[in-house]
Structure 1
Amino acid sequence: MAAVLAATSPIRARGIAGILASAVLALCANAPAADAKPIVGIAEQQAAAFTNPLFTPLGVRYARLNLAWDAMRYGWQLAELDAWMTTTHAAGIEPLVIFSQSRVKGRSRILPTPRQYGVVIDQLLARYPWVREFATWNEANHSGQPTAKSPARVAAYYETLRRHCAGCRIAAASLLDDPQLVAWARRLRSAIHRRGLPDPKLWALHNYIDVNNLRDTSTRAFLRGVQGTVWLTETGGIVRATSPRARRFKQGPQRAATVLKYILGPMATRNPRITRIYVYNFFGAAAPATWDSGLVTPAGNVRPSYRVVKDWFKGKGRSTVAR
């Protein structure tokens, strides 16, 4: 670069130098600072977590809800949703909503049409107007989700969300770090481009496979494959899980804490484009539940991972700037 400038006239050199300096400043402004600390939130379905005496001392101000797309059709689910929204709102917690498959028997493989999806968004915003952050679909690439073979449908949801919630922060999708992660994200980006939309600047990732092996291989590959910011909208160590895939990971309260230290430490430091980390979850679950990654036991006692989160806030402080 210096040789190019030396071969030009002084006036032209100053002009080029000014342009280059402006470009460098612009790049720096758009890149996360190397020492920036991510926001840490909680991914938790139970409203009772947010009034628990052990929750408030953590200082968490961001929470994620995984919401069945047809939840507002059913009174029991609407009651749960009302409780979650009113409790988090009263506590001053910023909600992030990620849509997912139906919880009703016989409907789990049914996808809403883009029009139905838009109606759901309108109903949600009318009932809870303070909600301004969304992701189109939960673990959209997972074989258990009806979206797994249809990135084009997720692209349609992304367009619908942008249209119905102008000014909202919208993640293109929440994806799981399985072997198809990068390829699936590429297909989704292509489907979004075919709709005439720009590249998404916000993505969501659940990187359980990576972090429970104390690595960030798939996470870094995903970051190379997408633009903009990434939020880990569900992550953490596993206390107990019974699925064939999860049984391959080391489990237990102390191991879950080790994983969480890795997430909030080396992984976050190496990947500054990850600006939010939602730890899953607050309440532990007793058998016969097939998954437990809670910060507290089902009986309400703190686990080592709870202390990791509390120490993180105490030692590094809570970020107050939404990113």
Structure 2
Amino acid sequence: MRRIALLASLAATGLLAVPATGQAAFTTGIGDQQPSMFSSPFFPALKVTHVRYIVSWDAMNHPQEVREVATFMAAAKSRNAKVLVAFNHSRFGKKSAAPSPAAYGKAVAKFHAAFKSQVEAYQTWNEINHCGSQPAALCKGATGAKRAAALFKELKKRAKGKTIVAVDLLDGNNAKAYRGTAAYAKNFVKFAKSSKPTVFGLHNYSDTNRSSATRTKFIVKNGLPKNAKVWVTETGGIAQFGGSFPFDLQRQARSVKQAFKIAGQVKQIKRLYLYNWTANEGGRFDSGLVDASGNPRPAYTVAVKRGK
């Protein structure tokens, strides 16, 4: 009884985190490409130990990228951060070319041999269904999903002992797009079934920045297995994105709050990576929690408070 009374007292004073009834439990992380994030005086208050980093699938063939990866990994280690590595199209090779499963397998095995001690988990391919940035052989329909499944199988075989986020999907801004994402996911699950994918990645920017949860819930319900674990590996508030989202820091803060709200509503979501730390002021896409001078934006405060 004394223990129960103590717990109740801690909860009442806010010293004990107690999830609301029916609210999903998830871990928060952040994605960024800049090692300077870890040396920011504002980073510790975010209290994250999980970070996400994107690399070319053929990174080990390019010395400049190898140096960049090593620098990021060392900075992450200085903060005891666990790294989720997301493979992506080539930066220095042919961006529009999809590797064969065999070539991909050899490349990721080489990366894993070099950095496995610093990597917690891998993603097969970043936003693999996004034809605006990914090879057509991977992003389109059932054919792309089949190729994606083949890459997943190679990665799982080459990185034994690591968590593999089987497929990483972008939600889509309209009904046709997000229904297409669900269909892609369903095909992927069918083709990858023999390798038993359990963790799936989702980027739900369209929901978080439109005060919605429709896309996330539809994709999870109609595209993924009932027992799927979902890692939202990119999400958050857009400060600016072309003409669709003019620069607005208050809207960005509201969108970060929405990201946490969605993760609390969808029980399959087990991890949430905000994107990103470093502002790209003046660029086409800017979602930084801190501005170009390294000073916190309103969205940073929302992230520190986990959307509360």
Q: Please state which band the TM-score falls in when normalised by the shorter chain.
A: 0.7 to 0.9
Cα offsets for 1:13-70 (capped at 9, x unmatched): xxxxxxxxxxxxxxxxxxxx93443111001011111111111221111000111112
Counterpart in 2 of 1:190?
Answer: 190
Q: Is 1:256 the equivalent of 2:252?
A: yes
Question: Residues of 2 paired with 1:74 and 1:166: CA distance?
Answer: 24
Q: Percent of counterpart pairs with the same letter?
A: 33
Counterpart in 2 of 1:24?
Answer: none
Question: Residues of 2 paired with 1:268 and 1:132: CA distance?
Answer: 21
Give how far 1:90 is off. Answer: 2.3
Q: Is 1:218 the equivalent of 2:209?
A: no
Alignment of 1:278-317 (within 5 A): 278-287=273-282, 289-312=283-306
Task: Answer with 1 or 2: which has the greater Rg.
Answer: 1
* Structure 1: gaps spanning 5 or more residues: 1-32, 316-323
Give how far 1:230 is off. Answer: 0.5
More displaced 10-residue stretch of structure 1: 136-145 or 250-259: 250-259
Give how far 1:252 is off. Answer: 1.1
The residue type paired with residue 147 of structure 2 is R
The residue type paired with residue 189 of structure 1 is V
Structure 1 residues 167, 34: closer, same or farther in 2, change over 3 A? farther
Match of 2:35 among 44, 47, 67: 47
Question: Residues of 2 paired with 1:202 and 1:167: CA distance?
Answer: 14
Following superposition, which runs of at least 4 residues in structure 1 exceed 6 angstroms of deviation?
A: none
Match of 1:76 among 64, 78, 94: 64
Question: Residues of 2 paired with 1:241 and 1:129: CA distance?
Answer: 35
Q: Is 1:203 the equivalent of 2:210?
A: no
Alignment of 1:158-173 (within 5 A): 158-173=152-167
Alignment of 1:76-225 (within 5 A): 76-104=64-92, 107-130=94-117, 131-143=119-131, 144-146=133-135, 147-149=138-140, 150-178=144-172, 179=177, 180-193=180-193, 196-198=194-196, 200-224=197-221, 225=223
After superposition, the CA RMSD in angstroms is 1.7
TM-score, with length taken from structure 1: 0.80
Q: Per the alignment, in what secondary structure is the counterpart of residue 147 of structure 2?
A: helix
Cα offsets for 1:92-138 (capped at 9, x unmatched): 1010011110112x610112221222222222222112213011111
Contact 1:212 1:250 in 2 (8 A): no
Contact 1:231 1:276 in 2 (8 A): yes
Give how far 1:258 is off. Answer: 0.3
Contact 1:285 1:292 in 2 (8 A): yes
The residue type paired with residue 197 of structure 1 is S
